Each structure stands twice: as structure tokens, then as C-alpha cells.
Amino acid sequence: MGLFSRKKNIETPNGESKKVEIPDGMWEKCPNCLEIIYSKTLQKNQMVCPKCDYHFRIGVEERIRLMLDEGSFKEFNTEITSIDPLNFKDTKKYIDRISGAVKKTNRKSAFITLEGKIDGKSIALGILDFAFLGGSMGSVVGEKITRMVEYAIEKRLPVIIVSGSGGARMQESILSLMQMAKTSAALGRLSKEKLPFISILTDPTTGGVTASFAMLGDINIAEPRALIGFAGPRVIQQTIKQDLPEGFQRSEFLQEHGMIDMIVPRAKIKETLSKLLEYLMVYE
Ligand SMILES: [Zn+2]
């Protein structure tokens, strides 16, 4: 998204139209209904279009602000970062892609792990950062999820993961595919310990992330109209040579077909999680 235009036509008092410069980032265009929205209005509305309810993609900081009690959290395992064991190169060297993502996001990996509180209730929270190589899951993401789950078991905490991802990180080939089994096994141990896992799927959650931990929640929650699937609609359409139903792979369609338990708008996510935690956990 971003700016729709740096110049905007305004009416002058004598009825003439005049182009004026608009400062960067003052307006956003809704990709769904094409409405032009004042940035501050959008921010006040948790980055949800006031006209059509489209949920814009948000960053890690906004996600934390939305979910956790102010000042209640600490991040851990911040220093783990990817290496390039396969010496992989496509149009660009993988190692350069990693350093580019580190510079862009100011974080060392695509997965952020925190311990924090929701209405005073302690949780372990993981967030996939779509801004970091499309939130793709390589060895580091798998390792950080596993460590977070092990930490949660040790501290008797419920686990919440917010996903937004293009899937497994192809530059790590089989090593990234192995993370699907590794994260699933870790969550299996969490389940044996009778600790809940709530998965939150945001736009877009696809590929190996959907095919592993993101769909393993005791409760799977999606944001409205998020694209959630394994292969993209175009690939499926070309493979089965049939037209796909309307709204295919969107949250609402998936809920209707039993893949998603709840669709929760952003404004209600914290109070919903708070209630679910009360049902699922015993807090003294
Ligand atoms: Zn809209």
C-alpha cells in the first residue's frame, strides 16, 4: 500500500481546480473498496477500513500493542539469526536477502517470541513478521517456535501464535520443510502437558505454515477476509481445471467448511483472547 498520490486536486474559492502537494503518508487507499482514508483515521481504527472493514496488514509492534497489556512483555531469543548452509542463490544470494531483511526490520529473524500479559493473564506469544522475507519459515523460525513452546511448558503458559506467511523458506530447501515436523512435534508436547495453543491466522497465511503449526491450534482464529490456504488459488485452478467457488480460501469460506473456529475482527481480539484464556486456563 502507501501513497495513492503525492498531489491532490482541491477547489479554490473562485471555483478553479488546483493541484497541491500532500505530505507523505497522509492518506491510504483501501485495496478492497478503493476508498481514500485519512491515515490518522485508519490508525485510530486499528488499521481497519471504516467503510468496508478490510483489515490492512500491520507490523509486529502494532500487533503487540493490540494484544498485550502495556509494558507487560519481554522479548526473548532475539539474537538467533539465519545462516546459509546450502550457499543458496536465486536472483540474489540468500545471505544478502537475510542481511537486507535484518536491516529493513531491525530484527534478526522473521519470528518474534515474547512473554506478556493479556488482561493480567500470562502467555507466551509468537508473531511471524511478514515484513521479514514474507514471514517465511526457515530453520530459525522453527527453532524459535520450538524454544518458545518449551519455555511455555516449563513456565506452564498457554501459547498464542500470530501467523502471516508465504510458507516455508525455499532458500533453505528441505531444512525449512523439516521445520513443519519440528514445530508440530513441539506443539504435540504442549498438548500432552495440557496447555492450550491458540493460532491466529492473518492475511496471508499460506504454504508450509498453514500445513503445519498454524492449523494446529486448539482454537484457530482468523482475521476477517484473510487469505488462508496451502497452494494459491491460481495454482489450484490450473491443476484441477475448474472454476473455484466465490470467496475460496478466505476466512469466511474456511469457517463455513470447518477449517477455522472463529473469525474475530481486530478490535475484538484482545477481549476474545482474554475470555478464551479464562475458559482454558486456571489462573490463581
Ligand atoms: Zn475499504
CATH number for the domain that contains residue 111: 3.90.226.10
Compare 217 and 282 and report the one with higher pLDDT: 217
pLDDT of residue 120: 97
- pTM (global) more than 0.85: yes
Say whether both 201 and 94 belong to one domain.
yes
Which positions ≥6 away from 164 have C-beta within 8 Å?
Answer: 57, 128, 129, 130, 135, 202, 203, 204, 205
Asked if residue 154 and residue 40 are part of one domain, the reply reads no
pLDDT digits (tens, 9 = 90+) for 98-117: 999 999 999 999 999 999 99
pLDDT at residue 18, as a whole number: 62
> How many A from CA of 113 to the centre of ligand 1?
31
Same domain flag for 116 and 240:
yes
**Residue-range definition of the domain harbouring residue 14:** 1-56
Task: Tell me which residue of 165, 171, 208, 177 sits closest to 95, measured CA to CA.
Answer: 171
Looking at residue 1, its amino acid is M
Number of structural domains, the chain?
A: 2
Query: CA separation (Å) from 110 to 102, 107, 127, 168?
Result: 9, 8, 8, 12
pLDDT in tens, 89-100: 999 999 999 999
Neighbouring-strand partners of residue 121: 118
Write out the DSSP string of 35-76. -EEEHHHHHHTTTB-TTT--B----HHHHHHHHSPTT--EEE
pLDDT for res 131: 96
Q: Are residues 77 and 157 in the same domain?
A: yes
**DSSP run (H or E) holding 150:** helix 139-155
Give the residue, 59 or 4, on which the prediction is more confident.
59
Report residues near ion ligand 1: CB below 5 Å: 30, 32-33, 35, 49, 51-52, 54
Same domain, 106 and 200: yes
Report CA(33)–ligand 1 centroid distance (Å).
Answer: 4
Q: What is the pLDDT of residues 183-224, one digit of tens each?
A: 999 999 999 999 999 999 999 999 999 999 999 999 999 999
Q: Judging by DSSP bridges, how do beta strands 17-21 and 7-11 pair with one another?
A: antiparallel
C-beta separation of 25 from 39 below 8 A: yes
